[in-house]
Every structure is written in C-alpha cells, then in structure tokens.
Structure 1
Amino acid sequence: MEILTSETLGGTWGTILLPIRADESIDWARLDPALDILVAAGLDGLYAHGTAGEFHTLGEDEYDRVNELLARRCERRGVPFQIGASHMSAQTCLARVARARTLRPGAIQVTLPDWLPMSRGEVLRFLARVAAVADPVPLVLYNPPHAKTQVPAELYPVIRREVHTLNLFQPEPRGAHAPRPTLRSTGPQGEVEKGSLIGIKVAGGNAEWYARMRRHAGGIAIFVAGHDLATGRRHGAAGSYSNIAALSPAGAMAWQRMMAERPDAALDVERRIHAFFTEHIQPLQRGGYANSALDKFLAHVGDWADIGTRVRWPYASVDPALAERLRPLARERLPELFPQA
C-alpha cells in the first residue's frame, strides 16, 4: 500500500468494530461481512485498533488476526488503510509497531503510554524510537482529551524537528486530499520535509484553537471528531477518524461531499447531528458508558452491519433495544446520513 504523507492523509476514515460474543470472544464470522461493507462504502480509508476497536482489550493473537484481515481486504480492493499499534505499555506498543509495519499500511497510529504522565523529553524519546521501528511507515498520534499526557501545540514543531525523515520525492496530492499550503514545510535546500509524524487525532476546538494549531502544527494533518468535521474543514482540518462513519459509512461520505459542494448545508447537518447527540448520546456518556460502547451503539442505530452493542468486560454495553428505538428518529432528523433509505 502507498505510504501516506501529511498532504495525502485526509478525508473520512472508518474503523473496524468488533462483534463480541457473550463469552467475550470475537465473532469472526460476523466481522467478515461488516468489513466487506466498510471496504465497499467509498471511505477515504479504513483503520483498526482505535478506541472504538477496543485495542486495549485485545490479546496479541487477536490483534494480529484483525490486522491481517484488514490488510488483505484493503490491498485487494485498493483501499488505503492504517493500523493502530497503541497500548498502555510502551514495550507492547513497540512490538505491535514492528509487526504492523510488515503489512505495509499507509500509516501506523499510536497513543502515548498512559499509566504515568510523560515529560516533554519522554514524549520525544518515545516517538523517536517508535518512528525508527516503524520506518518507512509514518506515524499518526492519537492524543484525545482523556489521555494522561496532553501534547501542547508548541511541542509539535519540536516533534517535527526531532522525529522526522527527509524525503526528496513528493507524491502528487490526489482527489479530496488537495495540498494545504499552510501545513507544508521545507528543508534548507527546498526539499519537502516529511515528518515521521504526519498526522494527529485530537478533539478540535474553537477558531482560536485552530489558529494556534496552524501556527505550531505546520506539516501535520489534523484530524478532529467526526461530528465536528464540517466546521473543522473550514478551519483547515484534514479529516476525521469518524464516529459518523460508525453511524453510517455511506452517509459520512455523502456528508463529506456536501462539505465541498454545499458547505452551508453541511453545517446545517452538523448542527442537527449535535442536537441529536446532545439529546441521545451525551446522556449515555454522562451515565458512564465508554466511547467504544457509544460508537457501537451508533453503529447499531445505523444498522448497516450485524455488529451489536456488546463491548468487552469490564466495560458496560448499551442496551441494543435503545438503539433500535432510535433508528427511525435518526433517519427522520438526519436523512442526509442515510442515502440508502
């Protein structure tokens, strides 16, 4: 698979959600058709082992099997893919990176080790070693609000300087991933400098937050929450590892096309998504359900594959009957996200 850069990384990416049996095992027979639907949905790419993929619950044999399924399907269909190698242990993360690299993903996603907060020097030391093991596959850093170590905007230029490779070949940007001049940096002879860290997944923020990120995170593709993508794109965000793709893969892409063709209409869809989430998703979040449970709940509302709402112990699963009751309401309030209907 073609290696991604900060300029070719963008758009709406969907994740693998794992159907879990009552005995806590992965239902591989149900995963196969769900993966077929994702591959055929027209998404900008697929990834495995984000929060919604419950990477924190997987044994290493399960981790490798999911990776092999993803790589085989995506290679066959020409769909870009990324592999998450995150783990609370830096040592386990490094071993996952080494194995993920052999499958030639477009990028490898990592989180920072999460038991103890890290100093800035430790963040750089961690990313430098991970990048060396992943080379030539670049990295995407997932730094959500609940991460114990929050990377400040002003650290990103240091990361770019200290953790990078210098490539003289610049692939031409294609399709929806048009070049973003404000996110491009060059070396002393004018060569294009490709950071080993090409992207970050963060929550996003207001206009001031985006302005600060534009000042400090040049050369890095910024990915924000799926339900905020219309606003994010207006401020220079590259894309999303999308919870809206969890709700409706085809609908997430229809909405992304609307952002380019009818941006004001796309913002209206975003407003209605926020209203739906405020009324029906945030109460579940306040009730203690983890993000992985909420993403599976959204997929069950969307009803595009037989995934179910069960997440692995010790986390609580949302009652599937609630999702089934919300299905007609979601289609009524957000018809743009359900083009098949």
Structure 2
Amino acid sequence: MAPALTSADLRGTWGTLLLSLHPDDTIDWGRTTHALDVLVAAGLDGVYVHGTAGEFHTLSEDEYDQINELVADRCAGHRIPFQIGASHMSAQTCLARVRRARAVAPSAVQVTLPDWLPLSRTEVIRFLVRIASAADPVPLVLYNPPHAKTLVAADSYAAVRREVPSLIGIKVGGGDAAWYAAMREYAGDLAIFVPGHGLATGLRHGAAGSYSNVAALSPAGAVAWQRMMVEDPEGGLDVERRIQSFLADHVDPLARQGFGNPALDKFLAHLGNWAEIGTRVRWPYDSIDESLAERLRPTVRACLPELFPAE
C-alpha cells in the first residue's frame, strides 16, 4: 500500500505521468511505463496521474483503470506516495472513478468540480461530501485550476473544511501576498499546492508544494531546485525568475497560439529529453512540433543549468 497522507505531510514537488501516444492516438504503454519509471527514480515527493496534463478528459474507462493499476504497482512497490485523479466533467462519472481509484489504495484522490455548469457554494460542498464518502478512507485533494468554471473563493474554504474533513489539500493557481493571507485565514491547515514555476515564492508565503510543470521539464532538476530553496533561498528565487523568463519567452507564445496545457507540458518534457514521451496529444487538440523543442534544448540548458544536474 502507498504511504498514507495527511494535510501535514502532503508536501513538496510532485511529478505527473504524461501519456506517450502512437500516431493513431492509442497509448504507447512501453514508453509510458518507461516515463513512469524515470519519475519513480527521480527523488520526487510523489507521483500523480489524471490531471490536465495527463489528458484525463480523453481517457476511456478501461484506459483509466489500466493506468491506475500501473501507477499503483510501480509506486507502491517503491514506497512512493501517489495520487490518483478521478476528475471528470460529469459528477456521476467522477463518482464512479473515485470508487475505482480507492480500490488501488492511493495516498490521496484528486477531483475537480463538475464542469458543464457552474456550482453554487452549497453545491460545491454537496459534491465534495459525497465524493469524500465514496473515497473513504482515502483522503481528498481538490484540483481547482484558474480555468475551472467554478472557482472556490478563499472565504469558502472554512465551510468546506468543516463539512469535508477528509479534504487535505488544494491544487490552485496561486496569487499575490493578499491572496496568500486570505488563504491562511480561511484554508487553515489545508496543504496549498501552487504551479511549479512559482514554488520558491509560494513556499515563502506558506504554500506546501507543487504538482509541478518544472518536473515535466526535468524531474531530477525539479528535485534539485527544491533542495536549493531550502539550502539557498535567494538562489532558489533566482532560478524561479529565470524559469519564468524562459517560459515567458518560449512557452507563453505557444499558449497564446492556442496550444493547451497537455501540449505545453509534453513540449516541456520533450525539451527536457528525460524520456521518450513525444509531443503528440489526443484528437481533437493540436500538438506542438517536436522539432521546436529540440532546437530549444541548448537554450534551456544554458538558461537553467541547475535543472539539468546530471549533464
């Protein structure tokens, strides 16, 4: 079984499994398994699956179950915490996924809120109460990214915590100092996870960790950078500034062209060249040309040598 998680020990840098795809959009299980093995060996605080970058919204239920079994086998065998995303646009499908995710004994289950119609505060709590009951005894993490149709306001978390005590953490977009202050007031002991490229600043304001896009670029590098944040905080902030500058120059323009988060994270992984994942995302979404990442490999290594410690 995976190590149990509480809000106190849900911490650090977590990496996600990205799907390697054949030209016909079927999963290349060999390359996907190899990518998982690299994540498991990288020293990350944990591994998670079925977030946005994992293309959970494209999976058949059979594929969903097969990935769960694969991750549970690899991570539990190495005593590495792992989280299973059970998110879906439909609350009913999400509920069914939660029940099946619970069966592989993950460290936590991640869910998003239903996404066709926005939810009221009462509906958010009603949804999470039933999801928590289905997941029991596995704790919950709420994934509430900036593009969610229902964004949970900071002052809602006091009621959520009261009604859903098994909620141990939240995955959110972060904010400024005032946002962190509000979250400290209302979110209490919930573990707050912020985007990887803002982790050094987030830790200073009380964030617990990141489900990390930096780990998509370099799993081992994300671990090394997190260590630097503790041993050399100013150096960690300098790396963060350079990460954000690189993203602004080379990744944000791709987002403005319309490429989605799965395409961007696979682009980062191909740029980092730590596994043969490729940049293909599932129909109908656009994929980024692999050659662009290959041309930029010398640039990212010159800009961010700290993220490529073995080179």
Matches of 1:149 and 1:32 in 2, distance apart?
A: 34
Paired AA for residue 41 in structure 2 = A
Deviations 1:282-330 (A, max 9, x none): 0000000000100000000000000000000111000100000010100
Q: Does 1:74 align with 2:75?
A: yes
Secondary structure class of the residue paired with 2:64 = helix
In structure 2, the residue matched to 1:22 is 23
- Distance apart, 1:68 and its partner CA: 0.4
In structure 1, the residue matched to 2:170 is 200
Of the three residues 238, 247, 262, the one matched with 1:268 is 238
Q: Please say if residues 3 and 80 of structure 2, whose CA atoms lie closer than 8 Å, have aligned partners that are also in contact.
A: no
In structure 1, the residue matched to 2:228 is 258
In structure 1, the residue matched to 2:298 is 328
Q: Does 1:56 align with 2:57?
A: yes
Matches of 1:2 and 1:46 in 2, distance apart?
A: 12
Matches of 2:198 and 2:187 in 1, distance apart?
A: 19
In structure 2, the residue matched to 1:216 is 186
Deviations 1:121-151 (A, max 9, x none): 1100000000000001010001011000010
- Distance apart, 1:32 and its partner CA: 1.6
In structure 1, the residue matched to 2:98 is 97
In structure 2, the residue matched to 1:277 is 247
Secondary structure class of the residue paired with 1:52 = coil
Matches of 1:220 and 1:269 in 2, distance apart?
A: 27
Q: Does 1:34 align with 2:35?
A: yes
Pairing of 1:291-330 with structure 2 (within 5 A):
291-330=261-300
Secondary structure class of the residue paired with 1:53 = coil
Matches of 2:35 and 2:91 in 1, distance apart?
A: 31
Matches of 2:83 and 2:171 in 1, distance apart?
A: 13
- Distance apart, 1:34 and its partner CA: 1.0
Of the three residues 258, 283, 288, the one matched with 2:258 is 288
Matches of 2:3 and 2:304 in 1, distance apart?
A: 35
5+ residue gaps in structure 2?
Answer: none
Secondary structure class of the residue paired with 1:109 = strand
Matches of 1:309 and 1:246 in 2, distance apart?
A: 12
- Distance apart, 1:26 and its partner CA: 0.3
Deviations 1:223-274 (A, max 9, x none): 0000000000000000000000000000000000000000000000000001
Deviations 1:17-41 (A, max 9, x none): 0001110100001112111111100
Q: Does 1:248 align with 2:218?
A: yes
Paired AA for residue 92 in structure 1 = T
- Distance apart, 1:2 and its partner CA: 2.3
In structure 1, the residue matched to 2:144 is 143
Paired AA for residue 309 in structure 1 = T
Matches of 1:232 and 1:32 in 2, distance apart?
A: 31
Paired AA for residue 13 in structure 1 = W
TM-score (norm 1): 0.90
Matches of 1:161 and 1:17 in 2, distance apart?
A: 35
Matches of 1:142 and 1:13 in 2, distance apart?
A: 14
Matches of 2:299 and 2:214 in 1, distance apart?
A: 16
Task: Tell me the C-alpha RMSD between the 2 structures.
Answer: 0.5
In structure 2, the residue matched to 1:184 is none
TM-score (norm 2): 0.99
Secondary structure class of the residue paired with 1:125 = helix
5+ residue gaps in structure 1?
Answer: 165-195
Q: Please say if residues 195 and 213 of structure 2, whose CA atoms lie closer than 8 Å, have aligned partners that are also in contact.
A: yes
Matches of 2:61 and 2:96 in 1, distance apart?
A: 10
Secondary structure class of the residue paired with 1:315 = coil
In structure 2, the residue matched to 1:162 is 163
